[in-house]
Amino acid sequence: DPPSTSTDDSGSVNQQRVLPSQRYQMSSTRAACLWRNRSMQAALESFALVVVADTTALARPMLQHGWPTPESRTHLLIWICNRFDYGVVGDLHFYQLIRSLRSRRRVTVVSSTSFE
């Protein structure tokens, strides 16, 4: 996120970085924890289409664990409505996951604007 700016009483400019809420920060460890007992996978397999919208990083548990598999009957749609790396800025493993999506036929990525 871009830094926010404000001025103090002396007219000096103060910059503060706005951090995403903890709920949108999806580390590799957090993704592994969510996926560990496969109950999420079992629940998702009951749907023909799973949509992750707004914050792309929330798809990390699925992507990191290779879901949906080529054999899955479920399709994953990632709808980017924010910066694609919101909550995971600078996470090289996440960037690698995103780059790998071109080769995953059960995953489709769309954006809400051409800017995304």
pLDDT attached to residue 1: 44
Cα–Cα distance between 65 and 70 in angstroms, integer?
13
Residue 108 in this model has a pLDDT that exceeds 50: yes
Kindly state the average pLDDT of the residues 5-12: 52
pLDDT attached to residue 81: 87
Q: What is the 3-state secondary structure (H, E, C) of the chain?
A: CCEEEEECCCCCEEEEECCCCHHHCCCHHHHHHHHCCCHHHHHHCCCCEEEEEECHHHHHHHHHCCCCCCCCCCEEEEEECCCCCCCCCCCHHHHHHHHHHHHCCCEEEEECCCCC
Q: What is the pLDDT of residues 35-66, one digit of tens each?
A: 998 889 999 999 999 999 988 999 999 999 99
Kindly state the average pLDDT of the residues 61-79: 95
Distances (CA, A) of 28 to 33, 47, 87: 9, 25, 12
